Amino acid sequence: MRMSRIAVGLLVALTFFIAVAAVSVQAEDAAADRPNILFIYCDDCAYQSLSAYGSVLHETPNIDRIADEGMIFTNSTVTNSICGPCRAVIQTGKYSHLNGFIRNGNRFDGSQQTFPKLLQAAGYQTAVVGKWHLATDPQGYDYSEVLIGQGPYYNPPMKLNGEQTSHIGYTTEVITDLALRWLEEDRDADKPFMLMYQHKAPHRRWEPGPSYLGMYDETVFPEPATLFDDYAGLTRAAKEQDMTISLTMTASDLKLGGAPRNLTPEQTAAWNTCYDKRIADFVERFGEVNRENLHGTDPELVSWKYQMYMRDYLACVAGVDVGVGRVLDYFEENDLTENTVIIFSSDQGFYLGEHGWFDKRFIYNESLKTPLIVSWPGVVEPGTTNDDIVSNVDMAETFLDIADAPIPSDMQGASIVPLLEGETPEDWRETVYYHYYEYPGAHSVKRHYGVYDGRYKLTHFYYNVDDWELIDLETDPLELTDVYADPAYAEVIERLTAELDRLREELEVPEDVLPQS
């Protein structure tokens, strides 16, 4: 019997539908026993602010819980130390020049290959809540509720699956509430999940929540050894930046300019009760609050501003730590801990007064390195430390490896699962490439690229400069002295220059990022 074209078409379509459905069922069945993934991601969270990393500033007991049950990475690096680009690297497993997001202000192309889409195909339920900061709406997530742009610290408008919502409360707590609500109400218990729980805190302007206002008012924090660095030993780039505590911080940064505009009357009252005392203290010490009195290199003024900065920044970190504790408690109370990989990290590190700075951007340790702590019951030995060089470009591959999903060959990192299992592969990287592009731009940090091998950093500052810098971290752990012109380092420079060229070729870095003529 001959079939009509319509019948043949219907048969082909039905066969395709059955095949796709079978693949989907197989993926879901295969995924059923795979571990969940909880990715806790902060913004501008310095490793120096975490007691798991030996902080002398304060305690972070809940983040420490992850470290106690897991592994701390001491050489966790980023590819480009600025918020949006780091987030794009996490999504794609590719460097900035390939994923198209090289600086804040770009728009992320969400149509490209990303790890959440690949996890969905592997049978995972995916969710992201909190800070997104990629300009376009999230793609590849079954649920997303994210801040719009940078987002405020209080009463944040957000986007729920692309539609605007509004919330009253402190943003750190709102984000935690939403993560817990998704886990409790919307999570599919028959599927493994990937939840990205992403905080705004402790990003500038470091505005503590009502429960944390004034919590460190009686604390005197130790000053970093390089708070009064004059950059005499470094290249021109260090001298010409605009991110110093002495000259760059504003009245709003220091809470000398009144309460934020979007607070409720109750929030405003709590804010004023806390910060009116600070304003009065400033006036008593230095006179009226104005630019002339606020900006200066007088040591007493710089030290005062450093203390205020730490009070607010660390209170924001404390709020995150409490939120992390709430989520960890939920996992324990609902028997999710044993089958969940918990990863704590930050988009990049941050300066807490080192070199006299706040912010990030430079290749120096405080911003090149970011915290990375991973627990995985039955796989990661509790309380361990790893010193291998890892990168945020490894995260997408790691998520896929955990999920037993294929890792695309065009991703540029490597899964850290072998390291979590206690084995360093023989071919594991010995160097890592870094590239910062946002100049001209905020804080005036020159464009630069460089290579880091665990001891040395060779860096090329370019665009409107052409300076090379070599730091020897073994002899100069505070990174105060450029030894590029020292003949004793000629062989090191030759080796690292060749390695830098190799990495740029391997990573397909385009030539148009070379110095402008």
Note whether residue 88 is domain-resident.
yes
Cα–Cα distance list, 299 to 234, 253, 256, 294 (Å): 21, 19, 19, 12
Distance of CA 454 to the CA centre of its chain: 20
pTM: 0.93
Omega before residue 181 within 30° of 0, cis? no
Q: What is the CA radius of gyration of the chain?
A: 24
Q: Are residues 289 and 327 in the same domain?
A: no
pLDDT at 517: 35
Q: Are residues 174 and 270 in the same domain?
A: no
Note whether residue 231 is domain-resident.
no
Distance of CA 440 to the CA centre of its chain: 22
Q: Are residues 121 and 182 in the same domain?
A: yes
Residue 102, φ and ψ in degrees, nearest 5: -100, -15
Please give the Cα distance from 420 to 381 (Å, whole number). 8
Contact 415, 398 (CB under 8 A): yes
Q: Are residues 404 and 294 in the same domain?
A: no
Structure tokens at 484: 């590029």
Note whether residue 216 is domain-resident.
no
Q: Are residues 342 and 314 in the same domain?
A: yes
Note whether residue 219 is domain-resident.
no
Nearest to 253 by CA among 212, 201, 308: 308
Q: Are residues 329 and 398 in the same domain?
A: yes
What pLDDT digit, counting tens, does each position of 485-517 carry? 999 999 999 999 999 999 999 999 997 655 443
Into how many domains does the chain fold? 2
pLDDT at 511: 79
Q: Are residues 152 and 257 in the same domain?
A: no
Q: Mark which of 305, 339, 366 sits at the end of a domain.
A: 305
pLDDT at 513: 55
- Which segments of 131-274 are extended strands (E)? 143-147, 157-160, 163-166, 193-198
pLDDT at 29: 52
**CATH code for the domain of 165:** 3.40.720.10
**Is 29 buried (19+), middle (13-18) or exposed (0-12) by CB count in 10 A?**
exposed
Nearest to 345 by CA among 9, 46, 19, 120: 46
How would you write the pLDDT of the chain (517 residues) with one tens digit per residue? 444 444 434 443 444 344 334 444 444 555 568 999 999 999 999 999 999 999 999 999 999 999 999 999 999 999 999 999 999 999 999 999 999 999 999 999 999 999 999 999 999 999 999 999 999 999 999 999 999 999 999 999 999 999 999 999 999 999 999 999 999 999 999 999 999 999 999 999 999 999 999 999 999 999 999 999 999 999 999 999 999 999 999 999 999 999 999 999 999 999 999 999 999 999 999 999 998 899 999 999 999 999 999 999 999 999 999 999 999 999 999 999 999 999 999 999 999 999 999 999 999 999 999 999 999 999 999 999 999 999 999 999 999 999 999 999 999 999 999 999 999 999 999 999 999 999 999 999 999 999 999 999 999 999 999 999 999 999 999 999 999 999 999 999 999 999 999 999 999 999 765 544 3
Note whether residue 28 is domain-resident.
no
DSSP 77: E
Return the sign of the alpha-carbon dihedral for residues 229, 231, 234, 238.
positive
pLDDT at 33: 86
Q: Mark which of 305, 329, 362 sits at the end of a domain.
A: 305
Note whether residue 23 is domain-resident.
no
**3-class SS at 380?**
coil
Please give the Cα distance from 186 to 143 (Å, whole number). 9
Note whether residue 253 is domain-resident.
yes
pLDDT at 12: 37
Note whether residue 225 is domain-resident.
no
Q: Are residues 353 and 242 in the same domain?
A: no
DSSP 183: I
Q: Are residues 400 and 376 in the same domain?
A: yes
Please give the Cα distance from 108 to 139 (Å, whole number). 10
Q: Are residues 88 and 196 in the same domain?
A: yes
Q: Are residues 200 and 344 in the same domain?
A: yes
Q: Mark which of 282, 305, 328 sits at the end of a domain.
A: 305
**3-class SS at 144?**
strand
Q: What is the largest CA-CA distance in the chain?
A: 100
Identify any residues that bridge with 436 across adjacent strands, giving them in sequence order: 448
Expressed as residue numbers, the domain containing 162 is: 33-208+306-511
DSSP 60: -
Contact 444, 493 (CB under 8 A): no
Q: Are residues 349 and 430 in the same domain?
A: yes
